[in-house]
Amino acid sequence: MAFDYEKYLRMERMPHMWCPGCGIGIVVKAMLRAIEKMGWSQDDVAVVSGIGCTSRTPGYLDFNTLHTTHGRALAFATGLKLARPDKHVIVISGDGDAAAIGGNHFLHACRRNIDITLIVVNNYIYGMTGGQASPTTPFGMRASTAPYGAVDPAMDICQVAIAAGATYVARGTVAQGLLLERYILNGLKHKGFSVIEAMSDCPVQYGRRNRMSSAVEMIQWIRDHGVPVTRAKELPPEELEGKFVTGELHVAERPEYTEEYRRLIEKAQKAAEGAHG
Amino acid sequence: MAKEVRLWEGNHLVAEAAILAGCRFFAGYPITPSSEIAEYMAVRLPQVGGTFIQMEDEIASMGAIIGASLAGVKSMTATSGPGFSLKQENLGYACMAEIPVVVVDVMRGGPSTGLPTHPSQMDVMQARWGTHGDHWIIALAPAFIHEIFWATVRAFNLSEKLRIPVILLLDEILAHMHEGFRLPDSSEIEIVDRAKPTVPPDRYFPYDESQGDVPPLAAFFSGYRFNITGLNHDKSGFPTTNPEIIQRDMERQRRKIERHLDEILWWDEHELEGAELAVIAYGSIGRSAHAAVDRARALGIRAGLFRPITLWPFPEKRVAALAEQVRTILVPEMNMGQLVLEVERVAAGRCDVVPLGKVGGIPIDPPEILEAIKARV
Amino acid sequence: MKHYELRFGGVGGQGVILAGAILAEAAVIYDGLYAVQSPTYTAQVRGGATKVDVIISDRPVIYPRATEIDFFLALAQRSYDVFHHQLKDGGIVLVDETLVTRVDEDRYRVLRVPITDLAEREIGRVVVVNAISLGLTVGITGVVSRRAIEQAVAARAPKGTVDMNLKALNLGFEQAARLGFPVEERTEEAV
């Protein structure tokens, strides 16, 4: 039986605002299939976003949905999760939103290892605002604010997440939707802060400026530049130049923030009782 | 058990009052001279089952309290000038999305890093117009220790009742002074909680005008699935660019203030009967002005004090009436002239309005105000 | 009407702000008076000039900062230099005579006690400078009752140091008597 996406979509909000060929839809579908597999009630799920193309996602989804300010989704989500640690909080963000203006919140959400799942749709560009360079625009590639090619080196979102302390980090692509679904599912299952980076296409703003004006060309480019982590281990560094590594890059166990805070409350209350008694 | 009088630091009392008003979530970032509020919350909130979190920056702490409030938990943050500047982005979000939150700003000298350990009243205009775009907001500026307590409680109550951010403006003097106060029992404190929806989820809209000027706000995860955005939105909370809807929504938000002025406005009057000169002052300078007016009266000068505790919305009607009554209104404040602009606007030429602005981190003491009074009568 | 303004000045780390709080607590909690304790900080955590004003009154205190100071305790020269200006002419300046040497004798009534030396010599701990100072302050001014300051000091003293602090407080009262100020009898039950 075909998957019932409409169960999770606010159909009255259609048509959505994304361009033909955009990869965001593939990521959203993978996410919905993963949520279905978790068996969660829609009432128990919040989807939070910042600003940008990807951040329009929550409005189309039938959950508790929160479209916040640019880069700040993780800050709002942290408050939401701490207020209701028993519920499920998912943040969906773009590369500019998560890695540039939201960079600090990203680092500290990783550090706290709070039980939130962050999905970053990385399409190398600011799409909604007109194709400006983002922190992940590859060196030398063009953007409306990098007309001679980007001179800023690109950021590796997953490596930053690992270094900052996230305990589940995976990278998938919109060329492989089923793998992406598996990573998101494992991220949702994981107790702690999980980051799933989805390499995605923006044929209109990014591809057009970089000789890949169709979605097919762009998705082929993504498929051809991804190297599975098992294979990457066997390759010399020069062969990985200009490529990105896909797969489950990091899985670790570390105390989760809301659990730790629950213990802190017990400790504080015991100490206060002791002081009074 | 009746509580005893004890000495309270202004900042600590804000925190304790917030807890008694029902605050169970605090997110903050260290900044002088407000940090004692965060430190107190770090100790006390877990004791009452609440949550304190030190966020990575001021922006994040403002975002976090909005998130927690949306889950139905009363939330607060505290900061000072530079942090208040950073919070303006998400403060605007709370205005736009109509999320109840309380923001304490302990004013210090500015702009920029300014005078971190010295008092000022330089954020009065920022409290009203700090975030971009038209918006409505409430700002309270208590002056005495008991007012600090009750203003904090009222900040939460107004915020919950009207679905609006409320700013609590202290200055460094009030934040760090210690004064005697007996903490009321919880039975002595009236607590207002936000209205919950009375309609089933399929008929619930978070900005539904038909539910009144303050439509009920359902909590996230309570079975009411809805959307909240910082974009202009229709009654259901989804983005819209329809000018008629936007106009109506902004009019409704303005009515929230205009129709509740009786509950929002709060001030103190002293010796205004028969006064020829009125001093309008607030916060710690309101106390200085009170002492100056007493000294003036002792000299036979007909001076009085109007001390607004609600600065925003500004108590226009009462100040307009005062402007009819007196020949001069003197406005001492620890800035180069902020609230005096509002006094001038409302007085509209009916009396002389004289600013007495002072910066540099030292307060305007009673003798200085007395001299200014003498020079005008 | 009783209205008395005191200022304690020192450098960060000496604990004058805490001493101000204890005096205000003695007034508010144990003597049922009104009081405001109003400190001034700098960014320098240790060593910067610091002060605290305590206003004690039998009516609510309107303005929370001191403007006409009756009594100034100076524990550092720098603090005296910066903070003595709001003292009344003829007001009392009590100085730690080894730490504050230059005082305007023409303007103020100056009292000199080697407070820090006494703390070291008589009690063996510099931390009791505050308790000695409070004994002196109350002994000289009578601004709160002896019983109230004893209770306030005892309530604030860290565990295991109550006796030491009360001994230091008493030493302060003795020094006030030595300077010619009549002192109430020590209340035994507080000890």
Q: For residue C191, is pLDDT > 80?
A: no
In chain A the domains, ranked by start, together with CATH numbers, are: 5-276 (3.40.50.970)
Looking at CA atoms only, how far is residue A182 from chain B in angstroms?
Answer: 26
Candidates B285, B274, B272; CA nearest to B319 is B272
Q: For residue B2, is pLDDT > 60?
A: no
Helix (H) or strand (E) holding B116: strand B115-119
Q: For residue C184, is pLDDT > 80?
A: no
Residues of chain A with pLDDT > 90, as a percent, come to 97
Q: For residue B1, is pLDDT > 70?
A: no
CB contact under 8 A, C37 and B178: yes
- Across residues B10-20, what is the average pLDDT? 98
Chain B residues near residue C38 by CB distance under 8 angstroms: 173, 176-178
Q: For residue B314, is pLDDT > 90?
A: yes
Give the long-range contacts of residues C111-116, CB within 8 A, separation 24 or more: C111/C140, C111/C179, C113/C175, C113/C179, C115/C75, C116/C75
How far is A166 from A107, CA to CA, in rounded Å?
9
C partners (3+ CB pairs within 8 A) are B
What pLDDT, on the 0 to 100 scale, is given for residue C40? Answer: 86
How far is A123 from A19, CA to CA, in rounded Å?
13
How far is B324 from B343, CA to CA, in rounded Å?
13
Chain B residues near residue A65 by CB distance under 8 angstroms: 225-228
Give per-residue pLDDT as tens, C134-181.
999 999 999 999 999 999 999 999 999 999 999 999 999 999 999 999
Give per-residue pLDDT as tens, B133-158.
999 999 999 999 999 999 999 999 99
Chain B residues near residue A13 by CB distance under 8 angstroms: 238
Looking at CA atoms only, how far is residue B328 from chain C in angstroms?
Answer: 23
- The class that CATH gives domain C3-183 is alpha beta
Strand, coil or helix: C178: helix
Candidates B44, B54, B43, B40; CA nearest to B12 is B40
Give per-residue pLDDT as tens, C95-114.
999 999 999 999 999 999 99
Length of chain A: 277
**pLDDT mean by block of 10 residues, chain A; 277 residues:** 94 96 98 98 98 97 98 98 98 98 98 98 96 96 97 97 98 98 98 98 95 94 96 94 96 98 97 79
CB contact under 8 A, B60 and A67: no
Chain B residues near residue C35 by CB distance under 8 angstroms: 7, 179-180
Cis peptide preceding B33, ω within 30 of 0: yes
Cβ-proximal residues to C88 (8 Å cutoff; 6+ apart), any chain: C68, C69, C70
In chain B the domains, ranked by start, together with CATH numbers, are: 5-188 (3.40.50.970), 201-262 (no CATH), 268-374 (3.40.50.920)
CB contact under 8 A, B117 and C41: yes
Give per-residue pLDDT as tens, B168-206.
999 999 999 999 999 999 999 999 999 999 999 999 999
DSSP structure class, residue C159: T
Interface predicted TM-score (ipTM) over 0.95: yes
User: Chain A residues within 8 A (CB-CB) of chain B?
Assistant: 13, 42-44, 46, 48, 58-59, 62-69, 72, 74-84, 87, 104-105, 107-108, 261, 264-265, 267-269, 272
Chain B residue with Cα closest to A58: B227
What are the structure tokens assigned to B78, written together?
Answer: 């505290």
Q: At what angle do helices A103-112 and A73-83 cross, to 10 degrees?
A: 30
Amino acid (1-letter code) at residue A91: V
Residues of chain C with pLDDT > 90, as a percent, come to 85
Average pLDDT value for chain B? 97
- Across residues B62-68, what is the average pLDDT? 98
What are the structure tokens assigned to C18, written together?
Answer: 């805490």
Chain C residues near residue B290 by CB distance under 8 angstroms: 62-63
Chain A residue with Cα closest to B227: A65
Cβ-proximal residues to C183 (8 Å cutoff; 6+ apart), any chain: C139, C146, C173, C174, C176, C177
- Across residues B208-221, what is the average pLDDT? 97
What pLDDT, on the 0 to 100 scale, is given for residue C13? Answer: 83
Strand, coil or helix: C46: coil
Chain C residues near residue B291 by CB distance under 8 angstroms: 62-63
Q: For residue B26, is pLDDT > 50?
A: yes
What pLDDT, on the 0 to 100 scale, is given for residue C12? Answer: 85
- The domain locations on chain C are 3-183
Strand, coil or helix: A78: helix
Best A76, A111, A276 residue to mutate vs chain B (most B CBs within 10 Å):
A76
Give per-residue pLDDT as tens, A165-201.
999 999 999 999 999 999 999 999 999 999 999 999 9
Chain A residue with Cα closest to B239: A59
- Taking 3-state DSSP, the helix, strand and coil percentages for chain B, each rounded to the nearest 5, stand at 40, 20, 35
- Taking 3-state DSSP, the helix, strand and coil percentages for chain C, each rounded to the nearest 5, stand at 40, 25, 35
Strand, coil or helix: B6: strand
CB contact under 8 A, B173 and C24: no
